[in-house]
Structure 1
């Protein structure tokens, strides 16, 4: 077997650079879709059901794209055709999503918003899945930590930019953050335009700056017998389910951790907006159109930018920590810190309005709004680890010729807990927490701590150079 060459830092950077734009789009989705759907008429308790569209699309799309990319080769490469195709669709969906109100004459706006949300998230998944496999394709085992940590850094750098866009447009460029009932604020609309453009341009950079190894060379590096025929029992629809039977044990062990950590992240994305508007700004349950609710929505962008910034900073040292003390230790520690951070959010409530200078603008917010940035440090640390450590651990346990499809199957462990969360969260909020969304974030903290404890169950295996 031929030894795989080491990549330079900038080669590793280029491999994942497209994720900068993808995550700008995903951050805009995470921070603003609940807001958009509420503006279009969605009920607070129904929001988790709308959000199920996201993991459902991942559940369907990622294994299909992963399996197809394992068998693809053309002049763009193996993974790049899917990365570029998904980016084009995602950019178009981002341009359309906040304009749902224009279709009122021939389709219910809420239905159109839901369809655009599903299309946007589905295309994100088409683009993201090959990126996970691309890092494993291009890096030798000893560079996996830095490969996935660099990807985590770029993901979170993009998330910072995407999260603050509506806030910056409102407070720096004076673009309105309010709109009549049934419409989306101009600041959100323009943010989606900018985010979609950035997504497409950054992906184009990766596609044309990364030269994937041709099949013969890739086979030499990975020890794949190119003369051996693909086992027919793993082909087609039935073959996919047979693949599940040979799923690496490491993936099944990681699935437990993934359940608790992604259950928590889903709750945060859905309920941080109502939690902050109720718990910090003192808005009534169901209020999504008042000025206070809109100001709280803008502040969510700052908070999400905060946890993404802290995640990006932690990503810089994460690979070194993983090399020194082990991936599992870093993973478990990060999730535990994240769990403590979530539960602490309950402590920061209301307060007098205070004037805050954010360098690029000045705003008036309740005093506790600033204190919410403290738990975002812990959330950021957990998020950085969630984005990198499971993939670094898993990539060495997957046969190289099935990297794409197993990375796609691994998405079940992300989509599954989000779907379950979407099905039960609304009922929990309504019947157990009386509509007080802050308690959902406390629940997210407990779930994240359980995820940290579950890391001890993971026993890494090696089958891929």
Structure 2
């Protein structure tokens, strides 16, 4: 028996699995955990970079582009409501089911594989929406000659947008849970630093791609009678996103050598360790159906409701900028209009590309900050760091309003026909984008980190807790999607009113967090997952 055990360990090492962790805080909830080697862990996180590349394109390009199809500024915000709906339904349920998935392929990889397949479908629909709309009869004119609305193209585009958001949510919860599964208690900090780095890398190349306006030159075959330069740039960027996603998915599927749940249970019985508390009676759970998911809310660890509340407030302060950052650059800073005169359209497109460049700078700061989070939390505690960055977010959103108002005032005091951007205003705007990378890194990390620690020490299941945490992200997105556009329309056509509300909500989030967040020590944070995400 001992010899067989030794042979098994040798086979694990050959496969890149270093050891089995049993006991401790984490294993009490997760059962025996095989901790993988560093190189295998790096490669297993690759899908995070591929998904984030596409997400960066979605954030930087899609809101401006859909306005060129005829959707108004106010209605374009409502397009984003698909993400909250998908996230509210998909992530918690997928997280719950992936905790219990008994396939030989693993618990998390089947969901990641399915999500990436649907992302590819969505990318094709979005990229070719103008061509599909043209075929359905939007117009017979060349895209250079037609500036009206394209209803069919807009509907196809929004359909693809919905599928894309649905698919992103299908991937996210299992991907985060997979990292916790593979890392083990001792490697959790290191694994999630790698995960966050992949996401920062995906952001950087995604925003760099979004700021590039030369795809129609590099791939002239992308241009058609229905698809001119801006459309061809979007199409090229998203086709490259699909290729990179498939490559990163292949790497993750190969190197994320998951242990099937049945093997974990069998090994736990042999070693005398407890298995996952939420699957102690799997047959009973399966017979209970989806209602077991709603009953599982009772299993949330103490302190989780406070984390959900503060996360909700923080994202409520972030989403106006998140949805309208490049549109803000195009309108308030570059003084363009997506459906205006040719000079206004060109100014708007330059602003969108410059906004994507600002998001690239933002992602560089985000990636660098991710490695500073653990030392900061050991020094000041996760609660203080989170609260402090909410105050910083409040100030920066207020600065956004000031810069936008100043830019518009200066422009209206000059010759209206001369559409230019002041160099000092542009520099301030890009600086703002860059500095916002710091609080964004905190938001991408600490809520998930605190959730992982609570789930590991107090129960609830990693997949389930991460999925439910996503509800506190999608709920503010619903509010902003429904309210930001009409709110801006009430005061004018620009983005400043929504950013002003965001500043106030950021301050409220800081106050609530100071009094309500659980007090985790810096030492506890050493084993918390530091991840990224949207």
**Residue 208 of structure 1, aligned match among 254, 258, 262:** 254
- Give the secondary structure class of the aligned counterpart of 1:372: helix
- Residue of structure 1 in register with 2:308 after alignment: 255
**Residue 79 of structure 1, aligned match among 74, 91, 108:** 108
Q: How does 1:189-204 map to 2 (within 5 A)?
A: 189-204=235-250
* 8 Å Cα contact 2:68-2:338 kept in structure 1: no
Q: How far apart, CA to CA, are the structure 2 residues paired with 1:378 and 1:126? A: 31
- Residue of structure 2 in register with 1:125 after alignment: 169
- Residue of structure 1 in register with 2:140 after alignment: none
Instruction: Go from structure 1 to structure 2 and tell me whether the alpha carbon gap of 1:143 and 1:30 turns closer, same or farther (over 3 Å shift).
Output: same
Q: How far apart, CA to CA, are the structure 1 residues paired with 2:219 and 2:393? A: 34
Residues 363-403 of structure 1 show CA distances to partners (whole Å, capped at 9, x for unaligned) of x9531122212222332111111111111111122266732
- Residue of structure 2 in register with 1:377 after alignment: 434
How far is 1:211 from its partner? Answer: 1.4
The alignment status of 1:224 with 2:281, answered yes or no, reads no
- Residue of structure 2 in register with 1:242 after alignment: 295
Q: How does 1:321-360 map to 2 (within 5 A)?
A: 321-348=376-403, 349-350=406-407
- Residue of structure 2 in register with 1:275 after alignment: 328
* 8 Å Cα contact 2:50-2:244 kept in structure 1: yes
- Residue of structure 2 in register with 1:443 after alignment: 501
- Give the secondary structure class of the aligned counterpart of 1:398: helix
Q: How far apart, CA to CA, are the structure 2 residues paired with 1:284 and 1:225? A: 55
Aligned-pair RMSD on alpha carbons? 3.2
* 8 Å Cα contact 1:149-1:319 kept in structure 2: no
- Give the secondary structure class of the aligned counterpart of 1:185: helix
Q: How does 1:108-119 map to 2 (within 5 A)?
A: 108-119=152-163
Q: How far apart, CA to CA, are the structure 2 residues paired with 1:424 and 1:301? A: 24
Instruction: Go from structure 1 to structure 2 and tell me whether the alpha carbon gap of 1:16 and 1:28 turns closer, same or farther (over 3 Å shift).
Output: same
- Give the secondary structure class of the aligned counterpart of 1:369: helix
How far is 1:97 from its partner? Answer: 0.5
Instruction: Go from structure 1 to structure 2 and tell me whether the alpha carbon gap of 1:416 and 1:388 turns closer, same or farther (over 3 Å shift).
Output: same
Residues 235-254 of structure 1 show CA distances to partners (whole Å, capped at 9, x for unaligned) of 32322222223322322111
TM-score normalised by length of structure 1 = 0.87
**Residue 395 of structure 1, aligned match among 452, 468, 471:** 452
* 8 Å Cα contact 1:259-1:417 kept in structure 2: yes
Q: How far apart, CA to CA, are the structure 2 residues paired with 1:50 and 1:179? A: 26
**Residue 314 of structure 1, aligned match among 348, 353, 369:** 369
**Residue 156 of structure 1, aligned match among 200, 204, 207:** 200
The alignment status of 1:430 with 2:486, answered yes or no, reads no
How far is 1:296 from its partner? Answer: 0.8
How far is 1:171 from its partner? Answer: 8.9
Give 1 or 2 for the bigger CA radius of gyration: 2
Equivalent residue pairs, number:
453
The alignment status of 1:404 with 2:463, answered yes or no, reads yes
Q: How far apart, CA to CA, are the structure 1 residues paired with 2:313 and 2:153? A: 34
Q: How far apart, CA to CA, are the structure 1 residues paired with 2:34 and 2:209? A: 39
Instruction: Go from structure 1 to structure 2 and tell me whether the alpha carbon gap of 1:197 and 1:313 turns closer, same or farther (over 3 Å shift).
Output: same
Q: How far apart, CA to CA, are the structure 1 residues paired with 2:329 and 2:511? A: 28
The alignment status of 1:415 with 2:474, answered yes or no, reads yes
Residues 300-325 of structure 1 show CA distances to partners (whole Å, capped at 9, x for unaligned) of 11111121111011012222323443
- Give the secondary structure class of the aligned counterpart of 1:73: coil
* 8 Å Cα contact 1:340-1:378 kept in structure 2: no
Q: How far apart, CA to CA, are the structure 2 residues paired with 1:455 and 1:217? A: 41
Mean CA deviation greater in 440-449 or 223-232: 223-232
TM-score normalised by length of structure 2 = 0.77
How far is 1:436 from its partner? Answer: 2.4
* 8 Å Cα contact 1:429-1:437 kept in structure 2: yes
Mean CA deviation greater in 324-333 or 42-51: 324-333
How far is 1:194 from its partner? Answer: 0.7
Q: How far apart, CA to CA, are the structure 2 residues paired with 1:151 and 1:99? A: 32
Q: How far apart, CA to CA, are the structure 1 residues paired with 2:339 and 2:509? A: 31
- Give the secondary structure class of the aligned counterpart of 2:42: helix
Instruction: Go from structure 1 to structure 2 and tell me whether the alpha carbon gap of 1:251 and 1:34 turns closer, same or farther (over 3 Å shift).
Output: same
- Give the secondary structure class of the aligned counterpart of 2:48: helix
* 8 Å Cα contact 1:338-1:381 kept in structure 2: no
The alignment status of 1:20 with 2:85, answered yes or no, reads no
Residues 92-142 of structure 1 show CA distances to partners (whole Å, capped at 9, x for unaligned) of 211220211122244822111111000011111111110111122223345
Residues 345-374 of structure 1 show CA distances to partners (whole Å, capped at 9, x for unaligned) of 234344999xxxxxxxxxx95311222122
Q: How far apart, CA to CA, are the structure 2 residues paired with 1:297 and 1:416? A: 27
- Give the secondary structure class of the aligned counterpart of 2:128: helix
Q: How far apart, CA to CA, are the structure 1 residues paired with 2:39 and 2:82? A: 36
How far is 1:341 from its partner? Answer: 2.0
* 8 Å Cα contact 1:337-1:378 kept in structure 2: no
Instruction: Go from structure 1 to structure 2 and tell me whether the alpha carbon gap of 1:217 and 1:190 turns closer, same or farther (over 3 Å shift).
Output: same
